[in-house]
Structure 1
Amino acid sequence: MRGEYKVPGGKLVAVEVDVSDGRLSDVSISGDFFLEPDEALEDINAALTGLSADAGVEQLASAIDGALDETVSLIGFTPEAIGIAVRRALGKATGWHDHVFDVIPPVTLDPAMHVALDEVIAHEVAAGERPPTLRFWDWDRPLVVIGSFQSLRNEVDPDGAARHGIEVVRRISGGGAMFMEPGNTITYSLVVPGSLVEGLSFERSYSFLDDWVIGALADIGVRAHFVPLNDIASDKGKIGGAAQKRFASGAVLHHVTMAYDIDADKMLEVLRIGREKLSDKGTKSANKRVDPMRSQTGMTREAIIESFIASFTRAHRTTRATYSEAELSAAKELVEARFATPEWTHRVR
């Protein structure tokens, strides 16, 4: 059996392995990584041989760590990367190539519906009722979407929100507030099975699931990179940020918002952003638009989204899809029962 894992920003690790009486045998590690000294490769193979075929990534990585001393250098890969490749070889973890992704282009909806659809689609992916899904948001009115654990009164100025007719919805993932007027950000949600990120820490799963969009940004001339824990930046500053939620049912929601052309004056009247957070939002003064995607590309928002979809489609097996009536109905019920209720919106005051 063979499994591969490409370390984000690093090298490819490949594993060939057999299983005999429930134990790993004939283990062979290869790849385009660097390893010093050479003979350490034999030590890694030996460390894995004989381990239970049910061993998790942490146990596999621990065995490798225990077999190597401080003189060994692993460059471009890690013991955890080897563990993930082993789990993929055994069919207990998956890679991008193991899935066909539904891709849903922007559909204009109430922004609260998109918040609810994140949960609806995550449950469907976990149940195998829908394949892993990449979907882009479009919305018909302004809204502030706050993170699951943010304090409403600390994040939103009620007078400013009322003056501009902007409501607030709390999403199911953590992270910061999203100031969303029609056309001012590029937002997408990626929902994948937990098997795709097995063995990855939260931080590593962020960079792993952001890797495709780093390439998509390069396709439109933006040299971007991942900034731990959850930001995407170029040499001209922050472009956007990600938020993530792992469901007990087995799905992972990973969504990203990139600033296209935000009215900073209005944003700072609605959001309570201190001086320390101004630079994090892409501006050092209120008298400036937050427009990294527009200014760095010169492209329309629609053209950028189409290019992103094309980039993802070139890299992965995909099917163009849309929302079913059942999904939209379920999302509407969630909005009415939870996301539009004061109890949910104000649950962290």
Structure 2
Amino acid sequence: MHHGEYKVPGGKLVVVDLEVTGGALRGVRVAGDFFLEPDEALDAINGALEGAPADTDARGLAARIDAALPAGAVLFGFSSEAVGVAVRRAVADAAEWTDFDWRIIHEGPQPPALHMALDEVLTHEVAAGRRPPTLRVWEWDRPAVIIGSFQSLRNEVDEQGAERHGVTVVRRISGGGAMFVEPGNTITYSLCVPQSLVQGLTFAESYAYLDDWVLAALGDMGIKAWYKPLNDIATDAGKVAGAAQKRVISGAGAVLHHVTMSYDIDAAKMVEVLRIGREKVSDKGIASAEKRVDPLRRQTGLPRAEVIERMIASFRARYGGADDVVSDAELARAQELAAGKFSSAEWLGRVP
């Protein structure tokens, strides 16, 4: 018997139990806290999945469900594709959040290069099975710009502006866009998780899945937020966060999912440090960089430390989590990488 679960971002939980016999799905039973009308639509969903080839992707499974649903059926809080995702996770025997003994790290301010190195080291430790899945909340010791792994340094950063404002520029191991951070104005965290947690999810689905807990945490603070493909967290007032990922294929595999949230922002300084081109601004349909991000300080009215405290409390309430620190061995390896790879001109300028 295979069991799979999928929490729809901002929606309901879909649970699937099934067997795989002769390469086909058998004994499929779909359940969850969703809403569905009419009642017989559930039997139609189960019947549509019965006998489906076990290697059918989520879209293919959704198509079978859509074709079988009675006319006028209403799926509220989930979708046929969400059922397909839950089936894929069941077939893959994907792990769930509560299967793990989570660790939570929130240490004092550290330099940008060390944060880049810690992400790499801790993710590899999780892949090797030497560290449990970990939520790490960062603190910054100086202002910084973090560019994506594949971005052009000269196209993204105004070096004179960065030097004038004392901003350190580093390159991370994940893709995505440049982030401008200042101590006290930014909330940054990393999730270092086993590959098994996102098994059966597409790359895009894994972003939404790993962001879901923070959407709930923001909701507890009165902010209705949602995942905006591919890698943003947004509210009615604007973008509040951006995410990026890196996959590690060594050992059992692991995923680094890190998020930078805007608590406050000095937009005037940001546009002097980052080269925000007219085309990029135009594509987003906005007139200025100030309108691209709406900080959490204004939306919550809470001190930054309390926002972080509430986020961690929300995570613990959902999945547990024991306080932890970076081990001496992990720190030594990270310091070596920070002083070498992440402080080198070669790495920073690898895409000039």
- TM normalised by structure 1 equals 0.87
Give CA-to-partner distance per residue, 1:256-309, whole Å, 9 cap, x none. Answer: 111112222211111111245459999955789966111111211111111110
Instruction: Determine the C-alpha separation between the residues in 2 that align with 1:214 and 1:194.
Output: 22
Asked whether the 8 Å contact 2:238–2:291 carries over to 1, the reply is no
In 2, the alpha carbon distance for the partners of 1:149 and 1:269 equals 22
1:1-349 mapped onto 2 (5 Å cutoff):
1=1, 2-18=3-19, 24-31=25-32, 32-34=34-36, 38=41, 39-48=43-52, 55-56=54-55, 58=57, 62=60, 65=63, 69=67, 75=75, 76-77=77-78, 81-86=82-87, 88-89=89-90, 92-249=93-250, 250-277=253-280, 284-285=287-288, 292-349=295-352
- In the TM superposition, what is the alpha-carbon distance from 1:4 to its structure 2 partner? 2.5
Identical-pair percentage: 57
Q: Are the structure 2 counterparts of residues 207 and 279 from structure 1 closer, same or farther at C-alpha, using a change threshold of 3 Å?
A: farther
Query: Would you say the 8 A contact 2:244–2:257 is kept in 1?
Result: yes
Aligned equivalents of 1:335, 1:281: Cα separation in 2: 35
TM-aligned CA distance change 1:35 to 1:93, over 3 Å: farther
C-alpha distance 229-74 of structure 1, shift in aligned 2 (>3 A): farther
Return closer, same or farther for 1:164/1:45 CA change in 2, 3 Å cut-off. Answer: closer
Q: Distance in 2 between matches of 1:288 and 1:77?
A: 32
The separation in 2 between residues aligned to 1:286 and 1:64, in whole angstroms, is: 40
How far, CA to CA, are the matches of 2:181 and 2:87 in structure 1?
A: 42
Unpaired runs of 5+ residues, structure 2, are none
Q: Report the number of matched residues.
A: 343
Cα deviation, residue 332, structure 1: 0.9
The more displaced of 74-83 and 219-228 is 74-83
* TM-score, scaled relative to structure 2: 0.86
Cα deviation for residue 110 of structure 1 reads 0.9
Answer yes or no: is the 8 Å Cα contact 1:116–1:335 preserved in 2: yes
2:9 and 2:227 in contact (8 A); partners too? no
Q: 1:310 to 1:88 in 2, by over 3 A?
A: same
Counterpart amino acid of 1:44?
A
Separation in structure 2 between the aligned mates of residue 89 and residue 71 of structure 1, nearest angstrom: 22
- Change beyond 3 A, Cα 1:40–1:103: same
Q: Which runs of 5+ in 1 are unaligned?
A: none
1:311 aligned partner, one-letter code: S
Q: Greater CA deviation, 17-26 or 302-311?
A: 17-26
